[in-house]
Chains A and B, each alone.
Chain A
Amino acid sequence: MTKIIIDGQEIDVPGEYSLLQACEAAGVEVPRFCFHERLSIAGNCRMCLVEVKGGPPKPVASCAQQVRDQRPGPNGEPPVVITNSPMVKKAREGVMEFLLLNHPLDCPICDQGGECDLQDQAMGYGIDEARTREYRRGVTDKYMGPLVKTQMTRCIHCTRCIRFSAEVAGVDEIGAIGRGEDMEITTYLEKAVTSELSANIIDLCPVGALTSKPYAFNARPWELRKTESIDAMDALGANIRIDSRGAEVLRVLPRVNDDVNEEWISDKTRFVVDGLGRQRLDKPYVRRDGKLKPATWQEAFDAIADRIKTTKPEAMAAIVGDLVSVEPVKALKDLMTSLGVASLDCRQDGAKIGGARASYLFNSTIAGIEEADAILLVGTNPRWEAPLINARIRKTWLRSGLPVARIGAPVDLTYDVRELGEDFSILSGLADGSHDAFQILKDAKRPLLIVGMSALSRPDGAAILAACARLAGATGMIGPEGAEGWCGFNVLHSAAARVGALDIGFLPGAGGRDVAGILDGASKGEVELVWLLGADEIDTAKLGNAFVIYQGSHGDAGAHRADVILPGAAYTEEDGIFVNLEGRVQAANRAVFPPGEARENWKIVRAVSGVLGQPLPYDDLKALRAKLVADVPHLATFDAPAGSPGADAALWGNVGAAGPIGGAPLAYAIDDFYLTNPIARASRTMAECSKLYVKRPLAVAAE
């Protein structure tokens, strides 16, 4: 720790702090444009100028100076930094005047207006009239893809977008061409930025040069109602802020949570919201004479009750989809259990997971990736399954150059990966220590293994899981128990609902069928009634003649096949708990009401239970949550990962199932990042992204 005096106040901060960070620690705000906590330091906007006593007789850029490099006073007093002297004020005003020389005065028509760093800081350091009569510079707008709208005349060349794409996103595609007054930010030949994180540059841009294309000219920030919530597009549980006006969700922005998403979100999380207004199920439907006809809730409930009362429990089943929160899953489980139904499953993709909690969690935690010193990826494409986990791995790789190896098909992950081949049978060899990559994992202090759904949903998924657990044990990935411990055995989920549903045990009971069994039974006529709770990723053609109840928000695959449609809320329209892949319990909040007659999902299940004459023992969300916590106590602890389970032989010995591992090459579970769920498939923005980023390369290859 180093002492430093800031505006007369002596504080003690780590020596590697920049002066700007030290000022913040002292509670002094320093204006800045180019500096960003999570990017490298550029020092080119010059807005953060401060005065340093004993330094050069000119203001210095506080973001690019370290506390330990400052000169002490003549008698060894701590260095003195002044941020409120006339010299500093004049210097910053000068910088601001230069920035505004070429900045257009178009705030009234600029989408950044109201949340613009330049606008805010001009209030403090700007002057009220221009002192020059020169022409302002005009810059042609650049194409950067379907998500980022550009208005490059407004650019102040802070280079945050360049640094983000090069450092965090790992796609070196944005750059500054020309120099001096002619400097312009662009991509090479104005191609779209090919990153799943590209839209974060919209948030990073301190002015209105890069704004959101789908949200363009939609609203002013002060008109929006801001709801803090949790994202459901992937299993990460990114912390988001939902901005809505009236009944419409207009945009989604990231919230800072260093343990989960830092301050980034994926493009899907951000731009899927236009899908919330399309293809919505806003009233109940009942199939009559082969056609889905609008109905009242009562008619829909009666149709369901008639069928359930005449169907044997063994011939009924329920499947939970990927986007629902824990509460409706719990309600559906309680209802099904009370009916004696055992064929329950939440694993639409047929992943061979379940059992002990540690065997299906991302045990190292997301932030824990940064402590890893060797990573093995087993059948996963983190770039599409969880873009922010990929960004964490890249961050760690950039910092430490750690070895990353992969079993599975090669895809560009934005860091160097050693390919161990696509043949999964080498997992057995790895677990026995006969493969040379074993030693790298063994020698590492904090090795990490990430196994993805693509591998676990194969027919030999259980054997792969068992081999992964054996490998984890043999290479010392599983350290001591508790929050301080280390457990490098990680399962990478791609569905937001999955961990929560597994936690409450929405799995086949005694004699029950799993998803494959349910579909098989339905096509053979053995399963006569299937309840789909937002489940659209199954092969609905296999549902045969079964009576299908679809409860969900969007008219997608499940609703098309349904006999009764119960319109439910989407993830932005109900309060709910999501458990992310680390086992972190997070609360999502309702931003808007569900459209039309759609209702909160747990209430629908509760209402059906009433019609059946077996009402569930909760009448409001509070009571439901109390029941939830009573049955699954760990759901009471919010915002904390599960922690390491320790090297419990009984636990790790029973993960997965022994068996032969086939060598069949693997196709990744997600074949189109932008269209993984019903909401995304209803979104025009996502369709456009899919066409541009996913479909087009295939079309070129086919030519």
Chain B
Amino acid sequence: MALRRFAAEQPASFAFTADNLVWVDKQIAKYPEGRQASAVIPMLWRAQEQEGWISEPCVRWVAERLGMPFIRVYEIVTFYTMFHMAPVGKVHVQVCGTTPCMLRGAEDLIKVCKSKIAATAKDVTADGMFSWEEVECLGACVNAPMVQIWSDTYEDLTPESLEKLLDAFARGEKPKTGPQIDRHMSAPEGGPLTLTEVKS
């Protein structure tokens, strides 16, 4: 794990969109008086969904909104690897590299990422479209190997299907999420083997 620090280049300011501000207020109101700091991770997460990464002005904004010292929010941002501390591509591919996925070919997926996106993790392509990184278990081991792009997962991948997936993103399409083979959710490949007489 590389050192997690603020990126060298920072925007001048940070602001939530109007919709997100309403959402933020709702989150903070969930917690009893004096416990507002509990909303820090949801707020940071929403900020990352909005901006793509966590900037220094964003940390200050969140800290001031929750009445927390700046350093406490900075501690949280540097602790959790799910927070990006530098800009990432519009399509940020998180390849699961933990044991089950690795055994089922995650290393080949990473090779695809290296050739199609960037040689180094977290490097953004020149058009700002793609970046990738290897992450720890994302909890879809039955359909290994898999990648996560923002909140969607793409499972049962092969190097070929991942390439197709990335090409589809590059064309601006929205590929089907979930298993990329003939499998429903995490059911067996090719259809159910048990409870076959149950009709939905």
Contact = CB atoms under 8 A, between A and B. Distances in A.
Interface of A: 172-180, 182, 186-189
A379 B1 CA distance: 53
A182 B1 contact: yes
A69 B95 CA distance: 46
A175 B72 contact: yes
A188 B1 contact: no
Given A178-B79, A179-B78, A179-B79, A172 B71 contact: yes
27 contacts: A172-B69, A172-B71, A172-B72, A173-B69, A174-B71, A175-B69, A176-B75, A177-B4, A177-B5, A177-B71, A177-B74, A177-B75, A177-B78, A177-B79, A178-B3, A178-B79, A180-B1, A182-B1, A182-B3, A182-B4, A187-B71, A188-B69, A188-B71, A188-B74, A189-B6, A189-B56, A189-B70
Interface residue tally on B, bucketed by range: 10 to 19
- Looking at A178, A180, A187, which has the most chain B CB atoms within 10 Å of its CB? A178
Nearest to B1: A182
A182 B71 CA distance: 16
A178 B3 CA distance: 7
B33 to A, nearest CB: 14
Contacts of B70: 188-189
Contacts of A175: 69, 71-72, 74-75
Contacts of B74: 175, 177, 188
Contacts, number: 38
Interface in B22-51: none
A35 to B, nearest CB: 22
Contacts of B75: 175-177
Interface in B62-104: 69-72, 74-75, 78-79
B79 A173 contact: no
Nearest to A176: B75
Contacts of A180: 1
A449 to B, nearest CB: 29
A186 B78 CA distance: 12
A258 B78 CA distance: 38
> From DSSP, what is the main secondary structure of chain A's interface residues?
mixed
B78 A178 contact: yes
Given A173-B69, A188-B70, A188-B71, 13 more contacts: A172-B72, A175-B69, A175-B72, A175-B74, A175-B75, A177-B74, A177-B75, A178-B4, A179-B78, A182-B4, A186-B71, A187-B71, A188-B74
Interface of B: 1, 3-6, 56, 69-72, 74-75, 78-79
Nearest to A166: B69
B58 to A, nearest CB: 14
Nearest to B80: A179
B94 to A, nearest CB: 19
Contacts of B4: 177-178, 182
A173 B68 CA distance: 11
Contacts of A187: 71
A188 B75 CA distance: 9
Contacts of B3: 178, 182
A175 B72 CA distance: 7
B74 to A, nearest CB: 6
Closest 3 CB pairs of A and B: A172-B69, A175-B71, A177-B78
A368 B91 CA distance: 62
B71 A173 contact: yes
Contacts of A173: 69, 71
A186 B72 CA distance: 11
Contacts of A177: 4-5, 71, 74-75, 78-79
A553 B70 CA distance: 44
A182 B75 CA distance: 12
B89 to A, nearest CB: 24
Which of A174, A179, A186, A188 gathers the greatest number of chain B CB atoms within 10 Å?
A188
A499 B1 CA distance: 59
Contacts of A182: 1, 3-4
A180 B80 CA distance: 11
A694 B4 CA distance: 33
Contacts of A186: 71
Contacts of B72: 172, 175
Which among B3, B4, B71, B72 has the highest number of chain A CB atoms within 10 Å?
B71
Of the listed residues A172, A177, A189, the one surrounded by the most CB atoms of chain B closer than 10 A to its CB is: A177
A328 B77 CA distance: 59
A177 B71 CA distance: 8
Contacts of A176: 75
A182 B3 CA distance: 6
Specify which of A174, A179, A180, A187 lies most central, judged by the most chain B CB atoms within 10 Å of its CB: A179
B63 to A, nearest CB: 9
B127 to A, nearest CB: 31
A178 B69 CA distance: 17
A468 B75 CA distance: 46
A219 B130 CA distance: 57
A319 B5 CA distance: 57
A167 B166 CA distance: 51
A177 B78 CA distance: 6
Nearest to A174: B71
A143 to B, nearest CB: 14
Nearest to B75: A175
A560 B1 CA distance: 62
A174 B75 CA distance: 10
A182 B72 CA distance: 17
A159 to B, nearest CB: 11
A175 to B, nearest CB: 4
B105 to A, nearest CB: 28
B55 to A, nearest CB: 13
Nearest to A177: B78
Nearest to B71: A175
A471 to B, nearest CB: 32
A302 B180 CA distance: 105
Contacts of A178: 3-4, 78-79
A140 B73 CA distance: 21
A150 to B, nearest CB: 15
A172 B75 CA distance: 12
Nearest to B79: A179
Contacts of B6: 189
Contacts of B5: 177
A176 B74 CA distance: 9
B45 to A, nearest CB: 18
A182 B4 CA distance: 8
Contacts of B56: 189
B34 to A, nearest CB: 11
Nearest to A182: B3
A172 B5 CA distance: 19
A180 B75 CA distance: 13
Nearest to B4: A178
A176 B69 CA distance: 13
